[in-house]
Every structure is written in structure tokens, then in C-alpha cells.
């Protein structure tokens, strides 16, 4: 009997514990379920002080903070390059009031590279611009001057008259590896100071986007390819590594619709450094030439030419008395290295040569019949000599590019045309003035709002002028006209 009572007591006690435990765990489960709403948006608020690292320990915060203040928003004004239609009735009715040219506005990005206001951007961002406004990340704005441009690399150097600016530190694009994380900083779609992340997808990309309009000077395309999101307005902005160092200038995207589709391209910073240094020191880029005609090697060519390797570029021709020929390079050689940098394509070879100036001496490694040879080479300029291009030659080239002969006006002629100053186009030759639609007899009164009274005034202005210019003037019949074009 006692055993039965004990069994019943233990069973009852176990039931009590089961009920209490079930109530406790049921309460906890219901509490968690109350915090869940299956119809809520998957948005989570995070603390502004959180510094969680991205991508398995890679922290982008420092790189973004270091670079964002050195990237600027560039706003441009481009004048319509056609002369204005002349309406004599409007002049008669309204007293011949001055008409303004049509204007187009553009925007892009730029990178401050010095404390005293030098800014690098893409040439296509400022091409033909008659006014360039720079807006800093702190919202201050300044008017910029064009120091120089290089269409062959799509780079331009600007200057603002201000000091103590935050600036980007140069990295080394030769050392960057495929797979490294990078940030693209710029102003896409007028969204100021936007930072996106991606990796280096490829190096030495030639996408045939730069126009070959510089005579014998072929464009240099050896882009860094990245999957960081880049859109219109990013052009000229910074591509930085995780240390916040500048490794490239964002330039182009591969897209079917004009917007980002996963592929963007940047000019390597080692090319940028050389172009900037030349523009500051000489006013133009001192392009070095190795004097070789080269082609990429594929398996079919390797078999046809009996080449035992696919790396390097094949020497298909030599410039007579050029740098390569004088150094002993022969047709059939394979260039494998420039200095200590391996060469895998023609784009990479052009990129490496672009870092040097005429008369610089470099070591070139070649493979000849399976044997590695290192040859010292002294590079030349486009005229196949060792000199650099002087500023006086730049002005001469600019005048030649205009394609005109000018004459100054005497006091009687100025009075006849009711002008205070101006020079007349006496004769037009093939050049930019003719292409813009200007006719002989046109009197130039101002260039970029600066009065032109003598031919010397025009020469002085052209000494420091690059990029777009706006010409104001009047024809002998009294019709005023404006013309804008790029130098």
C-alpha cells in the first residue's frame, strides 16, 4: 500500500514540474515570436559609431575618410561652336544688343594632388570647356584654369588659386594585384562624394575608347579594370587602395545603356604621375618612344614564328635609327620586360614606356631564339631625337593649329567698325578656325573674355592656354558672332 502511495506522489510531483516547465518555455517562445513581423521591411538600424569591417577583415572606413576630401566635383560650361544666327530686324528693333552663345553644362570629378591646388581629371571632362568650376567636399567653390591636357592618355591638369587643400597621396599601380580591394570615389549622377567598393579585375586593358586624333601619337590605353560601381559623373575621380592611396583615375565603363553594368576602367596612377609632372614643368607631355612596331603573341603566332613562350610582345618592325634599332633589338625578338616589370601585352609595354621621357635610359629584356638578353636603351621623342618640346614650340603649334594669318587694325579701321580693339583674320588655312565656321574678315575682339588688341596679345594668351576657348568678335558688316572650340 505504501509503495502505491509513493508511486502516485512521485507521479503527481512530476506532473507539477512538467506543467511549470511547459509554462516557462512556452512563455519564452511566445516572447520571441512577438518580436517577429513577417511583413516588415528587412531594414536594420545600426549605430553611427559602428566600425564593422567588410569582406572578412578588410576595413574601408579609413580609406574612404582619407580620400573623400581630396575628390572634387567639376562643373563645366561649353559654348556652342557654331556662330550665332544674325537677325537684322532684331538689331534694328532692340538697338543691336549683344547676344550670348548657346551653352551646354557638364560635370565630372577630379582629384586634388597637391596642397597648392593642382587637380587631375580626365581630358574628356574639361574638353572644349570655356568655364570650369571646382566644388570641394566642404562645398567651397573656385574657378579653375587648365594647365595642360593630354588627349593620348585622356588626362588634364587644372589649378585653383587656393592653398592648404587636402590632397591624395600617390600609390604605385605597378604593385597592385588582381583581386585587391579598391574604392571608387567621385560624383556619379551629381551624387556628391560617393564611395563604392570593388576589386581589381584585370590590368593592362586596351578597350579602344580613346580617339587617335593626334597624328602619329597613338593613344595609350592600359587601364585597370575594376568592378567598383562607376557611373556618368565618376570620370576623373579617384580609384584608391585600402590604404587610401591613389592608384588610378576613373575614366570609362563598359556598358550597353550608358550606366554601370559591372565593368569600369581607370588610368594607372604611374602614368598620371608622369603626365602631371610634364605638364607642370614643360606645359606639354614629353612622350618617349622606343622605336618598335610590336604585336601581341597568341598560340597561333607562336607556332608560326616558332616562339617558345606566350608572354611578351613580338617585334614586328623597327624605326630607322630609332631607340630600339640603335640598342640592337631585331625583328623577331620578343620583349619580355621593361626595367623589372614583366610585359604581357602591347598595352602594358606602352604603359611602361609612357612613364619615361625622351633621353631616359632604361633596360629592356628580350628573348631571342630562346635566350634572354638585357639591352640598355636610350629613348627618343616623336621626332626621333633626344630633345624635349619647349614652350615656344607649343605656341608655334597652337598658332599653326588655328590655321590663319592675322593683321592688326589701325585707328581709322577701329573707328569705322566702332571698335576699341581687335585683330582681323586676313587669310584662313585648314585648321580649327575654319572648322569652327569662321570666315575671312572676322575681327577677333576677345578670347576667353580677355581683350585682344594685337597679334602679340593672342600669342601671349596661347602660351598658357589649353582646353576649350571662347572667341568673341564681329564681321565687317556689323554682325557679332561667338565661337567655341578646343585647342
The residues annotated as belonging to the active site are 124, 154, 235
Query: Cα dist. 313→239, 290, 304, 351, 470 in Å?
Result: 28, 13, 15, 13, 45
Q: Residues 252, 233: contact at Cβ < 8 Å?
A: no
Check if the beta carbon of residue 121 is closer than 8 Å to that of residue 73. Answer: no
Q: Are 305 and 368 in contact (CB under 8 A)?
A: no
CA distance 24 to 26: 5
| Strand, helix or coil for residue 348 | helix
- Residues sharing a CB contact under 8 Å with residue 272, sequence separation 6 or more, in sequence order: 120, 155, 170, 246, 248, 249
Please write down the HEC assignment for all residues of 53-66: CECCCECCHHHHHH
Cβ atoms 446, 481 nearer than 8 A: no
> Which cell goes with 382?
616623336
Please report the beta strands in 187-333, taking only residues with DSSP state E, as ranges in sequence order: 194-205, 223-226, 238-241, 246-253, 264-268, 292-296, 313-318
471, 458 contact by CB (below 8 A): no
Torsion of CA 87, 93, 94, 98, to 10 degrees: 20
Q: How far apart are CA 365 and CA 325, in angstroms?
A: 14
Measured CA to CA, the distance from residue 135 to residue 190 in angstroms comes to 12
Closest CA to 447 of 399, 412, 479: 399
Amino acid at each position: 500500500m505504501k509503495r502505491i502511495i509513493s508511486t502516485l506522489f512521485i507521479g503527481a510531483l512530476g506532473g507539477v514540474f512538467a506543467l511549470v516547465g511547459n509554462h516557462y518555455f512556452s512563455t519564452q517562445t511566445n516572447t520571441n515570436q512577438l518580436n517577429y513581423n513577417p511583413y516588415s521591411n528587412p531594414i536594420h538600424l545600426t549605430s553611427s559609431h559602428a566600425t564593422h569591417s567588410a569582406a572578412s577583415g578588410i576595413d574601408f572606413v579609413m580609406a574612404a575618410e582619407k580620400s573623400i576630401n581630396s575628390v572634387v566635383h567639376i562643373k563645366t560650361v561649353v559654348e556652342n561652336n557654331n556662330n550665332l544666327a544674325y537677325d537684322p530686324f532684331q538689331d534694328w528693333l532692340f538697338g543691336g544688343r549683344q547676344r550670348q552663345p548657346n551653352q551646354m553644362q557638364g560635370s565630372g570629378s577630379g582629384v586634388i594632388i597637391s596642397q597648392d591646388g593642382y587637380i587631375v581629371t580626365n581630358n574628356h571632362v574639361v574638353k572644349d570647356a570655356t568655364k570650369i568650376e571646382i566644388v570641394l567636399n566642404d562645398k567651397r567653390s573656385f574657378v579653375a584654369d587648365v594647365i595642360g591636357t593630354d588627349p593620348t592618355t585622356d588626362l588634364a591638369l587644372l589649378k585653383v588659386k587656393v592653398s592648404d587643400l587636402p590632397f591624395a597621396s600617390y600609390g604605385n599601380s605597378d604593385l597592385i594585384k588582381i583581386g585587391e580591394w579598391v574604392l571608387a570615389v567621385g560624383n556619379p549622377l551629381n551624387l556628391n562624394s560617393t564611395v563604392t567598393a570593388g576589386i581589381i579585375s584585370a590590368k593592362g586593358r586596351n578597350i579602344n575608347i580613346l580617339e587617335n586624333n593626334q597624328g602619329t601619337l597613338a593613344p595609350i590605353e592600359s587601364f585597370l579594370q575594376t568592378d567598383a560601381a562607376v557611373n556618368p559623373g565618376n570620370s576623373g575621380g579617384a580609384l584608391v587602395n585600402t590604404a587610401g592611396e591613389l592608384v588610378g583615375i576613373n575614366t570609362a565603363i563598359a556598358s550597353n545603356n550608358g550606366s554601370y553594368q559591372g565593368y569600369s576602367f581607370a588610368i594607372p596612377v604611374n602614368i598620371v604621375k608622369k603626365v602631371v609632372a610634364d605638364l607642370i614643368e614643360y606645359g606639354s607631355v614629353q612622350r618617349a618612344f622606343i622605336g618598335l612596331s610590336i604585336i601581341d603573341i597568341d598560340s597561333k603566332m607562336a607556332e608560326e614564328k616558332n616562339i617558345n613562350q606566350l608572354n611578351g610582345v613580338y617585334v614586328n618592325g623597327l624605326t630607322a635609327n630609332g631607340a630600339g634599332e640603335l640598342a640592337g633589338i631585331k625583328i623577331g625578338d620578343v620583349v619580355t620586360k621593361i626595367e623589372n616589370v614583366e610585359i604581357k601585352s602591347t598595352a602594358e609595354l606602352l604603359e611602361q614606356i609612357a612613364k619615361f621621357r625622351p633621353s631616359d635610359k632604361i633596360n629592356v629584356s628580350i628573348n631571342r631564339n630562346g635566350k634572354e638578353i638585357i639591352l640598355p636603351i636610350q629613348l627618343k621623342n616623336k621626332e626621333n631625337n633626344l630633345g624635349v618640346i619647349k614652350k615656344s614650340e607649343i605656341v608655334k603649334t597652337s598658332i599653326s593649329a588655328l590655321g590663319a594669318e592675322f593683321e592688326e587694325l589701325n585707328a581709322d579701321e577701329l573707328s569705322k567698325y566702332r571698335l576699341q580693339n581687335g585683330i582681323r583674320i586676313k587669310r584662313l588655312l585648314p585648321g580649327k578656325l575654319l572648322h569652327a565656321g569662321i570666315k575671312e574678315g572676322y575681327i577677333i575682339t576677345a578670347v576667353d573674355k580677355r581683350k585682344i588688341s594685337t597679334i602679340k596679345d593672342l600669342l601671349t594668351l596661347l602660351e598658357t592656354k589649353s582646353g576649350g576657348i571662347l572667341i568673341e568678335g564681329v564681321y565687317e558688316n556689323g554682325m557679332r558672332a561667338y565661337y567655341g572650340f578646343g585647342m
